Amino acid sequence: MRKRVKDMMFFVLILSLVLATSGCAPEEAGEERGEVREDTSFAGRYVGYSWQGEVTGTAFEDTEQFVETILDLDENGVIQNAKMVFFVQKEGFWIPRQSGNAYVDVDFSVDPKPAVPGEDYEPGESMFTIYTADMMAFYAVAVDEPGVVAVAMVDPITRYQFDKKFPQDFDFQIPVSELTIGSSEVVPTIRTSAGGLMKPDEWETLSDQTIFNINPWSHVVNDVGILQGVNESSSTQAFLEALGVEFDGEEPQPMNVAYGYFGMGGWDGNYGAIEESLRGQDATEKTSLIDWSIPRYAGAVNEENIFGVDVESGATRTVQNSIDGISGATTRMSRESTSYQRALVEAGIINEEDVIVGRF
User: Helix, strand, coil shares of the chain as percentages rounded to 5?
Assistant: 20, 25, 55
Q: Check residue 272 and give its pLDDT.
A: 87
Q: Check residue 302 and give its pLDDT.
A: 76
Query: Considering the entire predicted model, what is its pTM?
Result: 0.74
Which of the pair, 34 or 63, is modelled with greater confidence?
Answer: 63
Give residue-wise pLDDT tens across range 15-54.
Answer: 444 434 444 333 333 344 556 666 679 999 999 999 999 9
Q: How confident is the model at residue 194 (pLDDT cuts 50, 70, 90)?
A: confident
Q: What is the mean pLDDT of the chain?
A: 84
Give residue-wise pLDDT tens across range 105-123.
Answer: 999 999 999 999 999 999 9
Residue 118: CB atoms within 10 Å: 12
Alpha helices for the chain (secondary structure H) = 2-16, 236-242, 266-278, 295-298, 322-325, 333-347
Q: Check residue 357 and give its pLDDT.
A: 87
Lowest mean pLDDT among 88-92, 112-116, 121-125, 170-174: 88-92
Query: In sequence order, which residues have a C-beta less than 8 Å from that of residue 285 and are 6 or more positions away?
Result: none
Q: Check residue 115 and give its pLDDT.
A: 97
What burial class does residue 92 get, using C-beta atoms within 10 Å of its C-beta: 0-12 exposed, 13-18 middle, 19+ buried?
exposed
Query: In sequence order, which residues have a C-beta less than 8 Å from that of residue 61 and are 6 or more positions away?
Result: 4, 7, 8
Q: Check residue 310 and give its pLDDT.
A: 53
Q: Check residue 10 and give its pLDDT.
A: 42
Distance CA 275, CA 155 (A): 24
Asked if residues 166 and 185 have their Cβ atoms less than 8 Å apart, the reply is: yes
Predicted confidence (pLDDT) at residue 215 exceeds the cutoff of 80: yes
Distance CA 311, CA 319 (A): 13
Q: Check residue 323 and give its pLDDT.
A: 41
Predicted confidence (pLDDT) at residue 217 exceeds the cutoff of 80: yes
Lowest mean pLDDT among 39-43, 198-202, 338-342, 352-356: 39-43
Q: What is the mean pLDDT of residues 62-77?
A: 96
Predicted confidence (pLDDT) at residue 330 exceeds the cutoff of 50: no
Q: Check residue 61 and give its pLDDT.
A: 93
Q: Check residue 294 and give its pLDDT.
A: 79
Q: What is the mean pLDDT of residues 114-133?
A: 95
Distance CA 47, CA 113 (A): 45
Which amino acid is residue 68, in one-letter code?
E
